[in-house]
Amino acid sequence: MSARPEGTGESLDYVRDLPGYHPNRPQYFDSEVVDHLVGIVLEFGAELWVMRDRQAHLEELLAEQGMDARAALDRRARHWPQAATCHPIPDTARWLHTPPSEPAS
Amino acid sequence: MHGSARGAHPISVSEALYPRGKVAGPYPALPTRADEAYVDFIADARNFLLHAQQRPIAADSRELVRRAGLPASPDPANTRRAAQTLMADPALRIYHRVKRSLQEAFWNRLLAAFGGRRERLMAALDEADRRGPGSVEYDLDAPVPEYARTQIHLQPGGYTGEPLAGVLYDFGLKVFMGGAADHDGVAKTAARAAAAPLDGQVRRILDLGCSAGATTTALKAIWPEAEVHGVDLSAHMVRYAHLRAVEQGLDVQFRQMPAESLRYPDGHFDMVLAMLLFHEIPTSIARRVIGEAFRVLRPYDPSDPGAALRSSRVGVKP
């Protein structure tokens, strides 16, 4: 296909330099990693919305059967020890703060 | 020439395409509630970007162009520099990247959703091929022009390389139109706007680049006595368009052929319409399409005082 539209004398070659020109590898940022991260964040957003939608519908279904699940959940006391959910976090933090080892000489 | 079922077991269209019913008129409901929620997210994010953000983004872009010392009006000589200026701006990069990612994510999900029941859908298309009202003619081995092999609007496989192209396009249009295509609203508006011959004789109507056939069926609904044809260069599109017309009980003839090379005699049609075709084809092809549209249009009688207005019978929507 010609890159020059008929009758205008205008070259369309510049479109090849546009970030979205390559159908399978569009690159809008200097690093491809950032491009992929945007896609990943949106994917997380979409899946989060899927879960919220599902939960809302589930609560609605339960309400139709006489159970106010939302209020019941809010009334529900935590029944497992806090340490069970939180202890991995300090472990992770310790790992993060471990100084990097010296590179092998 | 006529396509035929390839040994598929008979299956009802409802069973294959509409197991969860229809939404917003003719569109098949997505296979699962999770698919619907995912697409809701994409649609809302697109609406936010395209409607809420379009105006400030446009204003920012104009300001960037002004600061770069470039002319405010379109100037071919400076297009490359303007594009470079705009794409150097971080906010615009994010805006365009997010739009692109949303489009990719949408199609991926749609393909996974409908692709998950591919065999049933193909069997339904085979079944619809043999049913009326109306008819469909196609050749899966017909050569595809190079310009039509691209993934237009990023649709997976494009219009010619993916057998489910029809249903993907149909649902894609519904989402991208942000509700305007619900109940075939856009197609009906276009069909109503199509000008009839001044003598009022409408025996045959042609819809060029008919895709999923929404405009074609809308024309038939307005002109029930007319013979209505829809052509598209994608066999997958005309097959789905026929299925869609059969579902509506409308007698429409769908033919696979390129709009720039019509296999109809001169002066065969009283009205010719193209909807959402010209923005998807190269300029050189668009010129040939318009030439063909005038060729197959019934010639006017030069002694008729209203003849000069007849050209309006060729409806063009970019």
Tens digits of per-residue pLDDT, A37-50?
999 999 999 999 99
Task: Give A86→chain B minimum CA distance, Å.
Answer: 30
CB contact under 8 A, A18 and B42: no
Q: Which of A2, A4, A24, A53 to mutate to test the interface with B (most CBs of B within 10 A)?
A: A53
Q: Which residues contact A102 (CB under 8 A, 6 or more apart)?
A: none
Distance between CA atoms of residues B94 and B119, nearest Å: 39
Distance between CA atoms of residues B195 and B209, nearest Å: 18
Question: By CA distance, what is A18's nearest residue in B?
Answer: B83
Residue B295's nearest CA partner among B266, B263, B258 is B266
The confidence band for A23, taking pLDDT boundaries of 50, 70 and 90, is confident
Question: By CA distance, what is A57's nearest residue in B?
Answer: B33
> What's chain B look like in SS3?
CCCCCCCCCCCCHHHHHCCCCEECCCEECCCCHHHHHHHHHHHHHHHHHHHHCHHHHHHHHHHHHHHCCCCCCCCHHHHHHHHHHHHCCHHHHHHHHHHHHHHHHHHHHHHHHHHCCHHHHHHHHHHHHCCCCCEEECCCCCCCCHHHHCCHHHCCCCCCCCCCHHHHHHHHHHHHCCCCCHHHHHHHHHHHHCCCCCCCCCCEEEEECCCCCHHHHHHHHHCCCCEEEEEECCHHHHHHHHHHHHHCCCCEEEEECCCCCCCCCCCCECEEEEECCHHHCCHHHHHHHHHHHHHHECCCCCCCCCHHHHHHHEEEEC
Task: Confirm or reject contact between A10 and chain B (CB < 8 A).
Answer: yes
Question: By CA distance, what is B81's nearest residue in A?
Answer: A14
Is this prediction's pTM over 0.90?
A: no
The confidence band for A2, taking pLDDT boundaries of 50, 70 and 90, is very low
Distance between CA atoms of residues A34 and A19, nearest Å: 13
B42 interaction partners in chain A (CB closer than 8 Å): 46
| Structure token pair of residue B214 | 């929404």
B105 interaction partners in chain A (CB closer than 8 Å): 39, 42-43, 46
Task: Confirm or reject contact between A1 and chain B (CB < 8 A).
Answer: yes
Among A28, A35, A54, select the one facing B34 at the smallest CB separation.
Answer: A54
Write phi, then psi, for A4 (nearest 5 degrees).
-120, 115
Tens-level pLDDT at each residue, chain B (318 residues): 444 444 445 667 778 889 899 999 999 999 999 999 999 999 999 988 888 888 889 999 999 999 999 988 877 788 889 989 999 999 999 999 999 999 999 999 999 999 999 999 999 999 999 999 999 999 999 999 999 998 999 999 999 999 999 999 999 999 999 889 999 999 999 999 998 888 889 999 999 999 999 999 999 999 999 999 999 999 999 999 999 999 999 999 999 999 999 999 999 999 999 999 999 999 999 999 999 999 999 886 656 555 544 445 555 555
ipTM above 0.95, yes or no: no
Interface of B with A in 134-173 (CB under 8 A): 146-147, 150-151, 154
